[in-house]
Structure 1
Amino acid sequence: MNRIFGILVLVGVPLTVIGSFMHWPSIAMFIICSISVVALSSFMGRATESLAIVSGPRIGGLLNATFGNAVELIISIFALQAGLIGVVLASLTGSVLGNLLLVGGLSFFLGGIKFKRQKFNVHDASHNSGLLIFAVVVAFVIPEIFTMTMNDNETLYLSVGISIILILLYLAGLVFKLVTHRGVYAHADVENEGGSHEEPEWSKRKALIILFVATLMVAFVSENLVHTFEAVGEQFGWSQLFIGVIIVAIVGNAAEHASAVIMAMKNKMDIAVEIAIGSTLQIAMFVAPLLVLISLFMPQKMPLVFTMSELVAMITAVFLAINVMNDGESNWFEGLTLIAAYLIMGIGFYFL
């Protein structure tokens, strides 16, 4: 599989360059760019997995989530430049749904088939649950309610204020988990760590170099990918909402999707859950508010206001994921439940 992804990168990136200069049809560029981003994401996932082995589950999960979300952040910035505000907000919604329901579901399902019953750190799960409720239910719902009686400028000011608070709280949460309370809630159950020492695929230096180069390539490919959204949407009858919630979210988060599932199948559930939940928190508390602040320098500003269907879907996903994960254990049926919820929402957004 790694060889296949390597071939796809060697073929896809040059074809993206050629296609951008020769103005190939939008559908062809959409397919080439999407495959290239997924293939590049696999290299980012392997690099962060190597760093996770050296750094431990918490830092490793954070690195994986950060570089996985970097792909979507880059895509979203180019979409902001193109004025596709609806696609950006929808892609943020899709990331929350994808990480909690699709990534978490696939991890629980495939890991549960192999190991029947898997455990992870219940203290981290409880801590993250509170942050999920705050980030999605409080910080996303408040703008929707308060802006009903506000003009555009007041809505933007409220969004900026909430965004700054979210970013500060997210950074404080990192200090809490990685500095002041590092190891305080360590998982005593060693079976999750696989029982043996694992050697990283790449050295720390090589992994960092690959991450940097892959990120630069993703930036270039993503710019070309964004330019195909409108034409492809018109051709297939896809709305901006569906493109953002499903297509951009899956392509942009391919690295962490694969990494979380691989970790679950190795019975490293602490890392798998940290990727799924940590990535969701990073999207809601850092990437989304950062995009609001970045949009201040764009021709079209982006308020932190989602549609009612996006809010209901995210809130439902949060409470379902919390209910499944709060006991610190997982099995294949719980994973299947999360996947089923994602498919139902996907069908709904397609017909919306």
Structure 2
Amino acid sequence: MASIEEEKTGLQEEAITINGSPMAVRKMQTFEHIGSLAAVAQSYGPRSVKSRILKSIYIVLIKAKINVLLPFGPLAVILHYLTGKHGWVFFFSLIGITPMAERLGYATEQLACYTGPTVGGLLNATFGNATEMIISLYALKNGMIRVVQQSLLGSILSNMLLVLGCAFFAGGLTHSHKDQVFNKASAVVNSGLLLMAVMGLLFPAVLHFTHSEVHYGKSEVTLSRFSSCVMLLAYASYLFFQLKSHRSLYNPIDSQEADGEQDAKEEDEEEEEPEITQWEAIVWLAVLTVWISILSGYLVDAIQGASESVNMPIAFISVILLPIVGNAAEHASAIMFAMKDKLDITLGVAIGSSTQISMFVIPFCVVIGWMMGKQMDLNFQLFETATLFITVLVVAFMLQEGTANYFKGLMLILCYLIVAASFFVHVDPTSGKSFVRLKQSMFVFP
């Protein structure tokens, strides 16, 4: 009898089965599905959206300590219309752009968490130097070609000497018991690209100063435009080389360590989760870019007036002050990674940014100037080109051993001080008589 009852029970269970699943299980799955839809609907409800927006604003605009400088941007706009004092407008704009540049780098890093390493590398290449590009394009539109040239040159010098020097110095003091090591092969590739950029800038300057052009004043512009197209092609090839065909060449030097250390690093990487969503990062990139564009307009318009009001050469403002603002994000992140003994990332930030500016941003400005009908060329004048050439050689010698310490960092910082002092006493030959008179009022020439 017991066996008959068991058979009946089994037949009843089979009878209530649909597509191989019991009805009870089926109902539970249905309720779970409805519950998940309700959770999704609730997550997109008005209250949730409002809290998400407030949280995003807090993370991007309030949480970071550098955001205490944000009010200087609106103050610069107010001073522009109320007082018209170019000196104050310039320095307030300069201070106001600094946190925006750092937050732009933060939003780019957050977006790169969703796009993966390949697209993330392209995003960093595009937005890493967005501040310099925006300032340069606005100045180019106003015909201030020398400001464009000198600010981009100063950004290269700042990244290679000041940013890299501070990173080596801070990392060397933190790890004073040893020499820090990095991937020498990737550093050599970047040094070669920087030397190629020096070649592109050197020949138009030599043509100009030796008066050996076929058509005076036109041949150097034509050569600059051709060289810029070649440099853009070389940079595109470099991106493919770095991100696709030879990715292993850019692996950190310690990627060949024991499996236990690799697992620990993978766990650390997994812990680093994005703080904002993908669409929030995109929106913040757009908002920050627009605000930097607005402040860049006031900044560029006030350069000439600021130079006259504070008795400071335009060359010094363009080469030293403007790049320090544009490199605020690179400066902070490079030092942070060096102190964590991640010098390969530090080199990617500092030297990689210099490579981007020299091989992409400068040729891009020449091509855009060509479209605008502006005579933007690669003739950065003899003094500026010589400064860049010597800087590239100094940094290449520093990187050839594949090691770093605080003394190398100190030497790079001191080299940057020499460069800054040189541009403070440098008379730009293309600035005209009024600027020479300004210099003569500052310094007594024999």
Q: What TM-score, normalized by structure 2, do the two folds share?
A: 0.73
Instruction: Work out whether residues 62 and 278 of structure 1, in 8 Å CA contact, stay in contact via their aligned partners in 2.
Output: no
Q: What amino acid is the match of 2:195?
A: I
Bigger mean CA offset, 141-150 vs 300-309: 141-150
**Where does residue 236 of structure 1 map in the other structure?**
310
**Where does residue 93 of structure 1 map in the other structure?**
153
The CA distance in 2 between the partners of 1:201 and 1:324, in whole Å, is 35
Deviations 1:269-293 (A, max 9, x none): 1111011111111111111111111
Q: What amino acid is the match of 1:202?
A: E
Which runs of structure 2 are paired with 1:211-222 in the superposition (5 Å)? 211-222=285-296
The CA distance in 2 between the partners of 1:270 and 1:125, in whole Å, is 9
Instruction: Work out whether residues 97 and 292 of structure 2, in 8 Å CA contact, stay in contact via their aligned partners in 1.
Output: yes
- 1:32 is displaced (CA, Å) by 1.6
Bigger mean CA offset, 138-147 vs 281-290: 138-147
**Where does residue 28 of structure 1 map in the other structure?**
88
The CA distance in 2 between the partners of 1:326 and 1:135, in whole Å, is 19
1:140 matched to 2:205: no
Instruction: Work out whether residues 68 and 254 of structure 1, in 8 Å CA contact, stay in contact via their aligned partners in 2.
Output: no
The CA distance in 2 between the partners of 1:131 and 1:292, in whole Å, is 18
The CA distance in 2 between the partners of 1:284 and 1:4, in whole Å, is 31
Instruction: Work out whether residues 93 and 314 of structure 1, in 8 Å CA contact, stay in contact via their aligned partners in 2.
Output: yes
**Where does residue 350 of structure 1 map in the other structure?**
424
Distance 1:154 1:188, change over 3 A: closer
Secondary structure, aligned partner of 2:324: helix
Distance 1:50 1:110, change over 3 A: farther
The CA distance in 2 between the partners of 1:127 and 1:54, in whole Å, is 28
**Where does residue 239 of structure 2 map in the other structure?**
174
Secondary structure, aligned partner of 2:149: helix
- 1:140 is displaced (CA, Å) by 1.2
Structure 2 portions without partners, runs of 5+: 1-61, 427-446
Bigger mean CA offset, 59-68 vs 270-279: 59-68
Pick from 134, 151, 167: which aligns with 1:107?
Answer: 167
Deviations 1:309-336 (A, max 9, x none): 1111111110111111122221111111
The CA distance in 1 between the partners of 2:356 and 2:350, in whole Å, is 10
The CA distance in 1 between the partners of 2:125 and 2:373, in whole Å, is 29
Q: What TM-score, normalized by structure 1, do the two folds share?
A: 0.91
Q: What amino acid is the match of 1:7?
A: V
Larger Rg: 2
1:128 matched to 2:190: yes
**Where does residue 202 of structure 1 map in the other structure?**
275
1:71 matched to 2:131: yes
- 1:63 is displaced (CA, Å) by 4.2
Q: What amino acid is the match of 1:313?
A: T
Which runs of structure 2 are paired with 1:301-320 in the superposition (5 Å)? 301-320=375-394
- 1:341 is displaced (CA, Å) by 0.4
Deviations 1:92-116 (A, max 9, x none): 2211110110111011111111123
Structure 1 portions without partners, runs of 5+: none
Deviations 1:130-164 (A, max 9, x none): 1111112x111111123332212222111110110
Distance 1:21 1:75, change over 3 A: same
**Where does residue 8 of structure 1 map in the other structure?**
69
The CA distance in 2 between the partners of 1:204 and 1:119, in whole Å, is 35
Pick from 198, 210, 218: which aligns with 1:153?
Answer: 218
Secondary structure, aligned partner of 2:348: helix
Secondary structure, aligned partner of 1:296: helix
The CA distance in 1 between the partners of 2:117 and 2:404, in whole Å, is 18
Pick from 253, 274, 284: which aligns with 2:327?
Answer: 253
What is the aligned length? 350
Distance 1:318 1:184, change over 3 A: closer
**Where does residue 364 of structure 2 map in the other structure?**
290
Q: What amino acid is the match of 1:140?
A: L
The CA distance in 1 between the partners of 2:233 and 2:370, in whole Å, is 18
Bigger mean CA offset, 79-88 vs 340-349: 79-88
The CA distance in 2 between the partners of 1:262 and 1:184, in whole Å, is 23
Distance 1:270 1:208, change over 3 A: farther
